[in-house]
A and B are shown apart, each in its own frame.
Chain A
Amino acid sequence: MGRYVRRSFAILAAAALFSAALAQTTLRIGLAEDPDILDPALARTYVGRIVFASLCDKLFDIDTSATVVPQLATGYTVSDDGLTVTIDIRQGVLFHDGTAMDAEAVKYSLDRAKNLPGSNRASELEQLESVTVVDEDTVELHLSTPFSPLIAQLADRAGMIVSPTAAEAAGEEFGNAPVCAGPFRFVERVAQDRIVLERFEDYWDADAISIDRVVFLPIPDSSVRLANLQSGDLQMIERPAPTDLTVMRADSNLVVPSVASLGYQGITVNLSNPEPRTDPLSSDVRVREALELAIDRNTINDVVFGGEFIVGNQPVPPSSPWYVADMPVPERDVERARALLDEAGVDRVPFEMMVANNPEAIRVGEVIQAMAGEVGFDITLRATEFATALDLQEQGQYAAFPVGWSGRIDPDGNIHQFHTCEGALNESGFCDPEVDRLLNEARAAGNNDDRFELYRQALERYLPDRHIIYLYHTQLFFPHTAAVQGFQAYPDGLIRLQGVSLQ
């Protein structure tokens, strides 16, 4: 009897807790993948950044047109030589553990991002030599060379400020329960199941936040993600299948805001990684031009993405201020492509194309294969899982690989590391010292007009080489139920909950 009563009490208590939880507003968001470690210095995935947007504020942020705006900083000045950046820190901001977010904390976080062993931020802050605390709300960043993209870097993970107290106490465990100064605090994470955050009452911009709890649920299958949204189990999802958009738009209960992403998708052709290759595709630029002319970008977009994405031919989308308008997207031209192959003295060009083994990437591969086949390319597709593909790419064991880049706020992030001789992401083995010079100058130039001119000159040199054949740009969709109000899509693809409410 006694045991029975005790158990009933336990159930009642649990029920009470449960209904209390229901009374709060909880926003459930379906992610396409399970985020990796939640430590701003070590993190590397796009979905991880979506979670960070609610968890960790940054020195700077962007607005809906990808312009950098202050967040934990209130402003900055750059010295004339471009080597010192002075940042003013917002006053009265608290971390989730109640400690103060001040200049010391900013210095600690930047040093940590740069020096923590294994930090994925170190390369982003390569030019940062040291940080000095001027006073409680001012820091000075000293650079080795002038570096215009720095502020844009600080509008991403490199600029996230963590609680020094918590980071010191947690050590390697910090990523398991991060403590930052964002609008929501970390509650729990069940790997591959959910990440739960709750509203941080002392958030510096607390008025902008009206949701009590956010739950991120990784649901890899796009059909299942959508079904959960339609059944009301989720209120928002990211990266729906573009071919499902007709279904979503027909559903009166759903709203589908969207924005063009900052990234690109293209075919990387291996020219000389690790050694110069001798096959026609790698060694003859006319063959690569023929391949580009064989491809109808609009067909890829229409067939695979329901016409929802944006065709392109440059590292930035046509809507970007950095897009060079006098080098427009080329049309398909089978005759010219055939003529180029004849000129190059080849009849059929066989090559293997590695494709990521997800349905969309395979479809893109099949469409390219069919179109290029009509001109004279015999493409063998090789669907390869992610880890193997990375390895083959690193070792240069591939001929061509349709692969994308998630995109960075500053154009430097989309260009420099792919087209400079020693660029960490130059998987093609392309090398032109003149391009290196132009892209390095563009990093140092302080004025956007000067930078644009340098990027244009570089583009004129590397684009005709076609070691990366840019094809299209992803459009980002954030379908949500009509109950979610005030949501805006940002071009970096992050979900910001400032101003969002749940009816």
Chain B
Amino acid sequence: MLPFVGRRALTAIPTLFLVTVMVFGIQRSLPGDPALILAGEQQDPEVIAFIREKYRLNDPLPVQYLAWVAQLARGDLGRSLRTNERVLDLIAAKLPVTIELALLSLLVAVAIALPLGMLAAVRRGTAIDYGSTMAALTGLSVPNFWLGIMLILFVSVRLGWLPASGYVPLSEGVWENVKRMIMPAFVLGTGLAAVLMRQMRSSMLGVLKQDFVRTAHAKGQRGAAVVIRHAARNALIPVTTILGLQLGALLSGAVLTEQVFTIPGFGKLIVDAVFNRDYAVVQGVVLITATSYILINLLVDLTYAVLDPRIGAK
């Protein structure tokens, strides 16, 4: 196992290198100039010139890129052009929020998707199957921002059960924190559940037909036990792949949900930074999400080995 992890860590280096080139290149190819934005309504030419000079925006792109990489090598992600905060501080403030929301959403998704998917596969072709499919798809086909606003209007404004939005750190009380996370996690989770549920059903169907499951049945083991002990375990492998991809996407892709519930996570940070052409922030956050993504997928691969000992590392 350890050599496997080591080898994977090595392959992360070219990936991260590609990511630095992509984020740098894509950003600089965008129209728009951070200096124009920072110069505000007044558009004072002297301010514009000063900012271009200060952030070395006039340097040739390769020089700017190398300067950034050199800075990275010193463990410095730079400062936000917009608010002058350290990018590292920004990330440190938002990482726990982002991770908490992502994990809670996955929890919601898994809690919905796995039982529904298993049920649908076992009762294939029945009303239960179609019903579960419909239920899962409802979550997928309703846009997150819309569901979010509906929930706020109903649960918070009409019923007054939960706060409408905002974020309170765990240190200020677990319940204070969780009650603000329930609705966003639900919104994100229901969106994810459909994909997971369909994949679970699909791979369960495949597994259920296989010899070892049939054998288990033939040996007289009861249905539910077979499903859970043998079939579900094997069916989880492709599901885990999807889960890994989704978790990666959640780190930076929960923008609209974060916006509706005003949760200060990565998604909002990165989109605002792109729109403000806040280069240092975009570069820093993309690098961190890419690293997390690679880590998550390493974990996914390790999970394969746990779920199915036949898949091992050479």
Contacts and interface: CB of A to CB of B under 8 A. Distances in A.
Is there a contact between chains A and B in the complex with CB atoms less than 8 Å apart? yes
A156 to B, nearest CB: 11
A176 B79 CA distance: 12
A406 B54 CA distance: 28
Interface stretch (B106-114, B135-143, B271-279, B295-303): B271-279
A172 interface: yes
Interface string B161-177: 00111110001110000
Interface in B127-186: 145, 149, 152-153, 156-157, 160, 163-167, 171-173
B52 to A, nearest CB: 10
A119 interface: yes
A424 B259 CA distance: 34
A392 interface: yes
Most chain B CB within a 10 A radius of its CB, from A15, A219, A387: A387
Interface stretch (B32-40, B206-214, B221-229): B32-40
A193 B85 contact: no
B41 A405 contact: yes
B268 to A, nearest CB: 6
Interface residues of A, number: 51
A63 B51 CA distance: 35
Given A44-B38, A231-B156, A120 B44 contact: yes
Interface residues of B, number: 53
A447 interface: no
A4 interface: no
B157 A227 contact: yes
Contact of B149 (A18, A217, A223): A223
B32 A390 contact: yes
A417 B39 CA distance: 15
B15 interface: no
Contacts of B268: 192
Contacts of B43: 394, 424-425
B23 interface: no
B264 interface: yes
A387 B42 contact: no
A303 interface: no
Most chain B CB within a 10 A radius of its CB, from A37, A176, A191: A191
A233 interface: yes
B90 A191 contact: yes
A269 B109 CA distance: 51
Contacts of B275: 385-387
B121 to A, nearest CB: 39
Nearest to A48: B40
B4 interface: no
B40 A45 contact: yes
A394 B80 CA distance: 23
Given A175-B84, A231-B156, A122 B44 contact: yes
Contact of A193 (B50, B264, B276): B264
A224 B264 contact: no
Interface in A367-418: 385-388, 390-392, 394, 405-406, 417
A174 to B, nearest CB: 9
A233 B166 contact: yes
Contacts of B37: 386-387, 390
Contact of A37 (B83, B163, B167): B83
Interface in A9-52: 14-15, 18, 34, 36-37, 39, 43-45
Contacts of B83: 36-37, 175-176, 191
A124 B31 contact: no
Nearest to A34: B272
B103 interface: no
A424 B172 CA distance: 48
Nearest to B83: A37
A362 to B, nearest CB: 16
A176 B167 contact: no
Given A117-B54, A227-B156, A387-B31, A424 B45 contact: yes
A14 B260 CA distance: 29
B166 A217 contact: yes
B167 A193 contact: yes
A193 B262 contact: yes
A387 B85 contact: no
A37 B84 contact: yes
B149 A394 contact: no
B47 A118 contact: yes
Given A120-B39, A386-B275, A387-B277, A228 B93 contact: no
A86 interface: no
A231 B41 contact: no
A164 interface: no
A231 B179 CA distance: 14
B82 interface: yes
B12 interface: no
B259 to A, nearest CB: 6
Given A122-B47, A192-B269, A231-B163, A217 B153 contact: no
A120 B165 CA distance: 34
A91 to B, nearest CB: 33
Contacts of A45: 40
Nearest to B264: A193
Contacts of B51: 118
Contacts of A43: 40
Given A231-B157, A405-B41, A118 B82 contact: no
Contact of B157 (A175, A176, A230, A406): A230
Contacts of B46: 122-123
Contacts of B262: 193, 217-219, 224
A231 B94 CA distance: 26
A257 interface: no
A417 B43 CA distance: 10
Interface in B269-312: 269, 272, 275-277
A343 interface: no
Nearest to A387: B32
A118 B55 CA distance: 11
Interface string B223-259: 0000000000000000000000000000000000001
Interface string A311-328: 000000000000000000
A219 B171 CA distance: 23
A453 interface: no
A173 to B, nearest CB: 7
A271 to B, nearest CB: 18
B264 A227 contact: no
B164 A228 contact: yes
A153 B272 CA distance: 30
A224 B277 contact: no
Contact of A118 (B33, B50, B272): B50
A34 B51 CA distance: 21
Interface of A: 14-15, 18, 34, 36-37, 39, 43-45, 117-120, 122-124, 172-173, 175-176, 190-193, 217-221, 223-224, 227-228, 230-233, 385-388, 390-392, 394, 405-406, 417, 424-425
Given A176-B84, A192-B264, 6 more contacts: A175-B83, A192-B272, A224-B261, A230-B157, A387-B276, A390-B32
7 contacts: A224-B261, A227-B164, A231-B156, A231-B160, A386-B275, A387-B37, A425-B42
The 9 closest A-B pairs by CB, nearest first: A44-B40, A387-B32, A193-B264, A123-B44, A231-B156, A231-B164, A228-B164, A118-B50, A227-B152
